[in-house]
Structure 1
Amino acid sequence: MNNLNFSDIKKEIEIITSRSSGKGGQNVNKVETKVMLKFNINTSRSLNNHQKELIKQKLSNKLNKNGELIVTAEAKRSQLKNKEIAYKKLERLLKKAFEKPKVRKKTKPTKAAQKKRLKSKKLHSEKKKLRKNPEL
């Protein structure tokens, strides 16, 4: 992950729990199963300036005004499972931010594909010509 250890980042994450929404009956009403992870990028000591800028650029839609990356999980009925899911989401997001995009290789259509395209265009134009009214 670009010379980055996720265990260092885990130490800087603030965990907030709350009551989850949705199905669950009494479990939803009394147990705080929703997990929210807040990771402040600006104050992080495990990231260098270049990494911080990369995250700000690539994950700008997931950051709040304070520069915090917020990830939530509430799919499971267990707080522990939701916490694991949230950590995996955060790790995936950070890995995605540090990935270098693949360089696009320019390609040309093959000769056969070009001929096929031109042939279909010619057939289409012939069909259109046949629809015209004959000039008297």
Structure 2
Amino acid sequence: MSLRIGPTVQIPDEEIAISYILASGPGGQNVNKLATAAQLRFDARHSPSLPPRVRARLQALAGGRLTKDGVIVLTAQRFRSQTRNREDARERLADLIREALIAPVRRIATRPSRGEKRRRLESKLHRGQIKQGRSRPSED
């Protein structure tokens, strides 16, 4: 069962490693006895399932969740069961990859129109006059 991200991207289960660790938070005494938190590891830098540009954007988006080796580590411990935490971690990875799939829109540099420049200068002049009016009258 692979992780389906969209119509073009699919991550096979072999690329995702999930281990279980002791969780903090909800669970009562189970927290002390059972390893319910899921820790997902995905090698983003060497994944053959991702196009190079998506891979680069994914690594940038991962931020502090990315190790020096290019592995994304996600820890899910919102729920009391291993199954739900595992699915939560997989969904969070899928969301991260979906976000990386969207290419940023290139900004087109534009110049301000003559009217915009005029209005900006007039507003600056107006603000200056307001501030000038706040000063004490001079004693000439």
Q: Give TM-score, length-normalised by structure 2.
A: 0.71
Aligned to 2:8: 3
Question: Does structure 1 conserve the Cα–Cα contact (< 8 Å) formed by 2:58 and 2:96?
Answer: no
Change (3 A) 1:12 1:124: closer
Shift of 1:27: 1.9
State the partner residue of 1:92: 95
Aligned to 1:26: 29
Q: Are 2:137 and 1:133 aligned?
A: yes
In structure 1, C-alpha distance between the alignment counterparts of 2:105 and 2:44, rounded to whole Å = 26
Q: Do 2:23 and 2:36's aligned partners in 1 also have CA atoms closer than 8 Å?
A: yes
Q: Which amino acid aligns with 1:3?
A: T
AA matched with 1:19: L
Report the Cα offset of residue 47 of structure 1: 3.2
The amino acid across from 1:129 in the alignment is Q
Structure 1: which 5+ residue stretches go unaligned?
A: none
Offset of residue 29 of structure 1 = 1.3
2:3 paired residue number:
none
User: What TM-score do the two structures reach when normalised by structure 1?
Assistant: 0.73
CA, structure 1 residues 52+103, in 2 after alignment: closer, same or farther (shift >3 Å)?
Answer: closer
How far is the alpha carbon of 1:91 from its aligned partner? Answer: 0.5
In the TM superposition, what is the alpha-carbon distance from 1:79 to its structure 2 partner?
Answer: 1.5
Q: For the residues of structure 1 that align with 2:57 and 2:9, how far apart are their CA atoms?
A: 13
Greater fraction helix: 1
- Counterpart of 1:104? 107
Q: 1:101 to 1:25 in 2, by over 3 A?
A: same
| Alpha-carbon distance in structure 2 between the residues aligned to 1:83 and 1:66 | 23
Shifted more, 23-32 versus 44-53: the winner is: 44-53
- Cα gap change, 1:22 to 1:47, in 2 (>3 Å): same
CA 1:66–1:2 in structure 2 vs 1: closer, same or farther (change >3 Å)? farther
- Name the counterpart of 2:80: 77
User: More displaced, 56-65 or 76-85?
Assistant: 56-65
Task: Determine if contact 2:9/2:50 at 8 Å carries over to the other structure.
Answer: yes
| RMSD across aligned positions (CA) | 3.1
Q: Structure 2: 5+ residue runs without aligned partners?
A: 1-5
